[in-house]
Amino acid sequence: MPEAAIAVRDLHKSYGGKPAVDGLDLVVPRGCFFGFLGPNGAGKSTTIRMLNGLIPPTSGTIELLGMRLPEQEIEIKKRIGLVPDESLLFDRLTGAEFLEFAGRMYGLARPIAIERAQSLLDLFELRETRKLIAEYSKGMRKRLAMAASLIHHPDLFLMDEPFEGVDAVGARLMKEILLDQVRRGATIFLTSHVLEVVERLCDRVGIIDKGRIVREASMQELRGGSESLEDVFVRVVGAGREFHELEWLK
Amino acid sequence: MIRAILRAQWLSMRSFRLASHRRGAVFSLATAILWYGFWTLLAFLTEEVTAQPGLHAQIADWLPIGLAAVFAYWQLAPLASASLGASLDLRKLLLYPVPRRSLFLVEVLLRITTCVEMLLLLAGAGIGLLRNPAFHAWTLFFRAPLALAAFATCNLFLAAGLRNWIERLLSRKGMREVIGLLLMLAAVTPRLLFITGAPMHRFAHLLPAGRYPLWPWGASAELLLGAHAGLNPAAGAATLCAWIALAYLFGRWQFERSLRYDLQEAQATAVTARNRSWADPLYRLPSLLLPDPLSAMVEKELRSLARTPRFRMVFVMGFSFGLAVWFPMALRGHHADSIVSGNFLAVVSVYALTLLGQVTYWNAFGFDRSAAQIYFAAPVNFTRVLAAKNIATAVFIFLEIGAVATACSLLRLGISPGRIAETFVVVAVCALYLFAIGNMSSVNYPRGMRPQRVSSGGAAGRTQGLLFLLYPIALLPVAFAYLARYAFRSQLAFDVVLACAAALGAAIYVISMESAVSSARHRREMIIAELSSGEGPLAAD
């Protein structure tokens, strides 16, 4: 059996006694495009932050690419590409400067970082803009964040809502790049509220609700017959919820 | 509507500051107690002095001067400290159908955040006058509160207008530096007048109320003192009313202009990297001396800070203050013939070091905001992150010293190369102590700062006040070196004590670094949350 890219066992994270992630068990095989879904506040972002070491878990174990976190934190980080929900871009740098900075932070020699930064700017169609990141649109910022996650050629991508605010053309470009990464053997762990995107890209999906995995399967298994991913998702996490009409809104 | 805005702000502050950042709340409380405790003491002393019946003649003479000082502090101190206080975040509030006069009223009330200390002093003076039998008259019970309230109202309207005007000015390219230059000129002018032998006594008549009652401080004093000082309280009241009306119109006018102001547009023309490409080779210098990722982080820090309006404003202030000290001395032909003047370069440079603290080492991740998470996500040792921040700050400090020293040399002030070298060493040793404390505060009390805003909130003013009390303690070991030179009249004594101070500073720096790195590891989640946190309807970073 091939080594898992992500292996999480009995992961807990509590805030003031209230569990945000409550006994999460998850195995993501290498080379998988994994969609991590859940309603708002289900624990998706908290899980991703624990996976990339930004926050420590309350308890449980995390293994990424066969290495334990936090024991082998530095080695793991070298092989992870990260697109978090909060911006990690420095507003007072240009796109090229930021990419070069990111490359050097991940251990690339400066000339290589500069060369890769330029080619990524070309690829993500950010080359023409020499303006500071502070002046970037939301979509440009997301594209730049994704470019930065690629610069050190990582084996595992952790992406929190990478398509949020990106226009259709930019999103198409980003999807193709991600699919290319999976074809070369990289693993992608992605959260998104846009279920059509997940449906089109991912070959495996996990649904989290109230901090626990409530369904995990391949896309084919999940959809079964003619059900769309949205139907499955609503059925799994939205069952029993009723829509109450407000009198004064009628 | 106003209550809804203030409640939203209170809830924003309460939910974040008090729940997730208790230590920060305790620190804020401690600084507030110290700062306002100091001003309460001063207000008490003012009350005691103004209550003395034997001093009634002096009180009549000095009251307008005191009120003029309060007026000056109220209007200028927030600007001089680059701490303009809290203000409405109009981007958030303009969405709602709030009447503009309500917004303006909140904006005016927020000016209290920069002048609580002045209100304490005014209250002290008012109570003292009421207790003073020499001024005793039943009408004083009406006139005193009325005069002080009117004076405060006038100041609030004027401060609201000035703040809006200055905030817009400072957001434009080049204007920040011009304002810095004007501040420097304002600081230099009295010294220039004094040194060049200008007849200063001719300006004295501007202050006493009896001779110049048309200014707000003169009119307020006239209303306060009344017939006891041979003044006409009715005339004072009329003048004050006119001032309040003018201040209101000015404040409202500037507020309306701020509502129509497009900050993004103003700054879009201000910051493009193309204009700065000439500086690229300079930013690349760290790569020649330091290994990656340290050099990458230093380079990023140099680029970011140099393009940050708020940092540039403080940098220019540090430099211009240096010139403000040296330039009048150049005109006077004064040379290093006293302890203080002989060490002015060091004094000015240490001042610049302390001034830069608020935008660098005290809150090293403030401008990074949520982007600081890259330091935790990337495979780098956090020791290097803090070291890179410190190195970049040191580069700017040394640039300040170089600029001031160059200006002094051009003005032929007789600064020897040895004295310049000594200043570099002294500042480096001071920096060790301040960086040691700063690294701890950066990870324990991080606070997101908006790089495009040159002002900061009222809390920042209090913190700065406390820091000015802490600086003498932090810089004590270096002060001992100067004391040794003075006491023993020996350069060797200075060198030995300075070397000891450097060794002690290095040890403290290393210990503090380890502690800061450990705190950062444990508090990383909190640090990112605090730096990424949103704000309420009031902007006070």
Q: Which two tokens stand for residue B220?
A: 């307020």
Task: Using CB atoms within 10 Å of the CB of residue A13, give its burial: 0 to 12 exposed, 13 to 18 middle, 19+ buried.
Answer: buried
What lies within 8 Å, CB to CB, of B11 at 6+ separation is B536
From A114's Cα to the closest Cα of chain B, the distance in A is 12
Between chains, do A110 and B373 touch, taking CB under 8 Å as contact?
Answer: no
- Record: contact A92-B307, CB cut-off 8 A: yes
Q: Does B404 score more than 70 pLDDT? A: yes
Please tell me the predicted confidence (pLDDT) of residue B20. 47
First to last CA, chain B: 23
My answer on whether omega of the bond before B446 falls inside 30° of 0, hence cis, is: no
* pLDDT for position B393: 93
Q: What angle do CA A82, A86, A90 make, to 5 degrees?
A: 85
Chain A residue with minimal CA distance to B297? A101
pLDDT-derived band at B23 (thresholds 50, 70, 90) equals low
Residue B331 has pLDDT above 60, yes or no: no
Helix (H) / strand (E) element for A21: namely strand A18-29
Chain B positions touching A153 (Cβ under 8 A) are none
How far is B523 from chain A, CA to nearest CA, in Å? Answer: 9
| Contact assessment for residue B401 and residue B425, using Cβ atoms and an 8 Å cutoff | no
B400 within 8 A of B322, measured Cβ to Cβ? yes
Q: In what helix (H) or strand (E) does residue A28 lie, and over which residues does it extend?
A: strand A18-29
Predicted local confidence at residue A219, as pLDDT:
84
Chain B, 449-468: which have a CB under 8 Å from a chain A CB? Answer: 451-452
Tokens 């950042």, residue located: B21
Please report, to the nearest 10 degrees, the dihedral formed by the alpha carbons of residues A78, A83, A88, A93 taken in order: 90
Whether residue B148 contacts residue B140, with contact meaning beta carbons closer than 8 Å, is answered with: no
CB contact under 8 A, A132 and B368: no
Report whether pLDDT(B363) > 60.
yes
pLDDT for B336 equals 47
Of B368, B373, B380, the CB nearest to A84: B373
Residue A86: CB atoms within 10 A of its CB come to 18
Judged by DSSP in three states, B128 sits in helix
Q: Which residue has the tokens 């340290």?
A: B294
Please tell me the predicted confidence (pLDDT) of residue B460. Answer: 47
Over residues A191-209, the pLDDT tens digits come to: 988 888 888 889 899 999 8
Q: Specify the DSSP class assigned to residue B113.
A: G
Per-residue pLDDT, averaged over A34-53, amounts to 89
Whole-angstrom CA distances from B123 to B47, B314, B461 are 8, 33, 21
Query: How far is the C-alpha of B268 from the C-alpha of B266, rounded, in Å?
Result: 6
Amino acid at A16: G
Is B294 within 8 Å of chain A by CB? no
For residue B280, the chain A residue with the least C-alpha distance is A97
Angstroms from B371 CA to nearest CA on chain A? 4
CA-based nearest residue to B310, from B260, B256, B367, B348: B367
Residue of B287, B368, B379 lying closest to A74 (CB–CB): B379
CA distances from A200 to A130, A172, A194, A229, B8 (A): 34, 11, 10, 10, 42
A with B: how many residue pairs have Cβ under 8 Å apart?
A: 105
**Closest by CA position to B509, among listed B430, B445, B419, B450:** B430
Closest chain A CA to residue B305: A92
**A contacts of B273 (beta carbons < 8 Å):** 94, 97, 130-132
Q: What is the pLDDT of residue B507?
A: 94
Q: CA of A110, closest CA in chain B: separation in Å?
A: 8
Question: In B, which residues are within 8 Å of A134 by CB distance?
Answer: 267, 271, 451-452
In 3D space, the residue among B301, B498, B272, B492 whose CA is nearest the CA of residue B392 turns out to be B301
Out of A77, A94, A97, the one facing B378 most closely (by C-beta) is A77
When CB atoms are compared, the residue of B287, B379, B532 closest to A86 is B532
Model confidence band, residue B271 (pLDDT cutoffs 50, 70, 90): very low
* Cα–Cα distance list, B142 to A155, B148, B149, B416 (Å): 78, 10, 11, 63
Distance from CA of B175 to the nearest CA of A (A): 19
The mean pLDDT value for B204-213 works out to 56
Q: Which chain A residue has the Cα nearest residue B311?
A: A92
Segment of A193-197, A225-229, A235-239, B231-235 carrying the highest mean pLDDT: A193-197
Angle at B143 between CA B141 and CA B144, to 5 degrees: 70
B30 touches chain A (CB under 8 A): no
Of residues B432 and B490, more confidently modeled = B432
Shortest distance between the Cα of A96 and any Cα of chain B, in A, equals 10
- Predicted confidence at residue B235, as pLDDT, reads 84
Which of B312, B376, B521, B530 is the best residue to mutate to test the A interface, defined by the most A CB atoms within 10 Å of its own CB? Answer: B376
Q: Which of A80, A86, A104 sits opposite B292 (nearest CB)?
A: A104
Confidence band for B269, pLDDT divided at 50, 70 and 90: very low
Residue B428: the pLDDT is 92
Task: Please give the pLDDT value at position B181.
Answer: 65
Query: Using one digit for the tens of pLDDT, what is the confidence trace for B117-159?
Result: 888 999 998 888 888 887 766 677 788 888 889 999 999 999 8
Residue B458's pLDDT is what? 38
Rounded CA gap, B83 and B79, in Å? 6
- Res. B541 pLDDT band, cuts 50 70 90: very low
Q: Identify the band that residue B209 occupies on the pLDDT scale cut at 50, 70 and 90.
A: very low
CA distance B331 to B311: 31
Paired tokens of B134: 């020499």
B355-379 average pLDDT score: 87
Considering only CB atoms, which chain A residues are within 8 Å of B367? 92
- Contact call for A88 and B528, based on CB within 8 A: no
CB atoms within 10 A of CB B514: 12
Query: What is the rounded average pLDDT for all residues in chain A?
Result: 86
- List, as one string, the DSSP characters of B166-201: HHHHHTSTTHHHHHHHHHHHHHHHHHHHHHTT--TH
Looking at residue A135, the DSSP 8-state letter turns out to be G
Ordered strands of the A80-83 beta sheet: A80-83, A156-160, A187-191, A33-37, A204-209, A212-218
Instruction: Give the distance from residue A244's alpha carbon to the nearest chain B alpha carbon, in angstroms.
Output: 27
pLDDT score for A154: 92
- Distance between CA A150 and CA A146 in Å, rounded? 6
Inter-chain CB proximity A86 and B274 less than 8 Å: no
B316: part of which helix (H) or strand (E)? Answer: helix B309-332
3-state DSSP: chain A helix, strand, coil percent, rounded to 5?
40, 25, 35
Q: Following DSSP, what letter does each residue of A172-196 receive, concatenated?
A: HHHHHHHHHHHHTT-EEEEE-S-HH
Distance, in Å, from the CA atom of B99 to the CA atom of B294, rounded to the nearest integer, reads 52
Contact between B360 and A80 (Cβ < 8 Å): no
Instruction: Please tell me which residue of chain A has the smallest CA distance to B372.
Output: A88
Q: How buried is residue A87: exposed, middle or buried, by Cβ count under 10 Å (0-12/13-18/19+)?
A: buried
CA distance A133 to chain B (A): 10
Give A138-160 pLDDT, tens digit per residue.
888 888 999 999 999 999 999 98
Q: What is the ipTM of this complex?
A: 0.84
On whether the CB atoms of residues B521 and B437 are closer than 8 A, the answer is: no
* Residue at B352: amino acid letter: A
List residues in chain A touching B: CB distance below 8 A.
49, 52-56, 73-75, 77-78, 80, 82, 84, 86-94, 97, 100-102, 104-107, 109-110, 130-132, 134-135
- CB contact (8 A) between residue B374 and residue A88: yes
Q: What pLDDT score does A113 carry?
A: 92
Nearest-Cα residue of chain B relative to residue A70: B521
B368 in reach of chain A (CB within 8 A): yes
Chain B CB contacts of A87 under 8 Å are 369-371
User: Rounded to 5 degrees, what are φ and ψ at A61?
Assistant: -120, 145
Dihedral class, residue B355 (left if φ above 0, else alpha if ψ from -120 to 50, else beta):
alpha
Q: Is B270 on the interface with A (CB under 8 A)?
A: no
CB B151 within 8 A of CB B216: yes
- The per-residue pLDDT for B171 is 67
Q: Is B280 on the interface with A (CB under 8 A)?
A: no
From chain B, the residues in CB contact with A74 under 8 A are 379, 381
Give the DSSP H or E segment for B6: helix B2-13
Does the structure show a pLDDT above 80 at B299? yes
Band of pLDDT at residue B540, cut at 50, 70 and 90: very low
Distances from the Cα of B342 to the Cα of B153, B415, B416, B509, angstroms: 46, 9, 11, 29
The amino acid present at B194, given as its one-letter code, is: F
Average pLDDT, chain B: 77
With CB atoms and an 8 Å threshold, state whether A86 touches B370: yes
Q: Do B292 and A94 touch (CB under 8 A)?
A: no
Q: Which residues pair with B223 in a beta bridge?
A: none
Q: Do B271 and A135 touch (CB under 8 A)?
A: yes
Q: What is the pLDDT of residues A103-115, one digit of tens each?
A: 999 989 999 999 9
Residue among A90, A92, A104 minimizing CB distance to B293: A104
Residues from chain A that touch B380, judged by Cβ atoms under 8 A, are 105
CA distance A155 to B273: 33
Percent of chain B with pLDDT over 70: 68
Q: Which residues in A173-196 are b (16+ Cβ under 10 Å) and which e?
A: bbbebbeebbeeebbbbbbbeebe
- What is chain A's Cα-based Rg? 19
Q: What is the pTM of this model?
A: 0.74
Q: HSE on the CB side for B198, CA within 13 Å?
A: 11
Q: Name residue, tokens 């006994």.
A: A23
